[in-house]
Amino acid sequence: MQLLRLERESSGLAVLTIDAPPLNLYTAALQEELLAAIGELESERPRALLVRAAGKVVSGGVDVSLFAEQADAAQAKVLFDRMLEVPERIAALPLPTVFAAHGLCLTWTFEVALACDLLVASERASFGLVENVIGLTPTMGGTQRLAARAGVARAKEFVFTGDRYPAETLREWGVVNRVLPEAGFAEAARELAVRLAGGPTRAHAATKRVLAHYERGGVAEANREVTGIAAELFETEDLRGGVRSFLTEGPGKATFHGR
């Protein structure tokens, strides 16, 4: 049984849909499908990626039997290293990534959402890292990515309590980029992703590189790297064409091709 779909649109957008009813639980089989799909995205890059889920919930979490199968810490670490690959490789994609959360979004899907560049949520969506119910801490980068967006104290509260937080609260914390009405949410999220797919993909990738330097070394490191990263864009068709379009037609008329 196929547990997810990877579809490509003529706009340059790729849509990755998690579809493992009824709760989109994380299993070993889903993990392998996710990693295979990410491999396809790495080898044949789209111009933007939208990650979404089918069903009433984004995910109810991880199938706990996966943890029951781990005999000891060494075996568990192998599993956790493999799980961490999923958000890490999504975060490393050199293109804009958008996660659309339409409903309850627990554990692994929230950790993947935090690895995406933009997180948009329906007004009825809610989020939680609830690993504390089995005596575990999140293993797919969610704690630290949440701290990067909302601060260490917020991340501790979120993980320690295991509570579910509404989308609007996380928007106030700076975790969710936009909260959108439930009616028409799927199309609104897709429209945003299509807009990004139509932009200067190489410039968006450069922006991600600059911000990765900022995350590692602050403003000083980003400043050391930004001029070289920006200068490389003069080797792209998009920048050359964008400059020509601006000078001849005015702003906002350029067509970008991601090259």
Q: How far apart are CA 65 and CA 91, in angstroms?
A: 27
Tell me which of 1.10.12, 3.30.870, 2.60.120, 3.40.50 is the CATH number of domain 201-249: 1.10.12
Count of alpha carbons within 13 angstroms of residue 160, beta-carbon side: 6
Q: How far apart are CA 73 and CA 226, in angstroms?
A: 41
Would you say 67 and 93 are in contact if contact means Cβ atoms under 8 Å apart?
Answer: no
Span 126-182, pLDDT tens digits:
999 999 999 999 999 999 999 999 999 999 999 999 999 999 999 999 999 999 999
Residue 1 confidence (pLDDT) above 90: no
In the block, residue with structure tokens 């050199």: 94
Equal fold, 4-197 vs 201-249 = no
Here the tokens at position 161 are 């309590």
pTM of this prediction? 0.95
What integer best gives the mean pLDDT of the chain? 96
Listed by start position, the domains of the chain span: 4-197, 201-249
Q: Which of the 8 DSSP states describes residue 122?
A: E
Tell me which of 3.30.950.10, 3.90.226.10, 1.10.3720.10, 3.90.79.10 is the CATH number of domain 4-197: 3.90.226.10
Here the tokens at position 252 are 């906002």
Residue 5 confidence (pLDDT) above 90: yes
Q: Which amino acid is at 51?
A: V
Span 192-220, pLDDT tens digits:
999 999 999 999 999 999 999 999 999 99
Q: Give the pLDDT of residue 240.
A: 94
Q: Which amino acid is at 36?
A: A
Percent of the chain having pLDDT more than 90?
A: 97
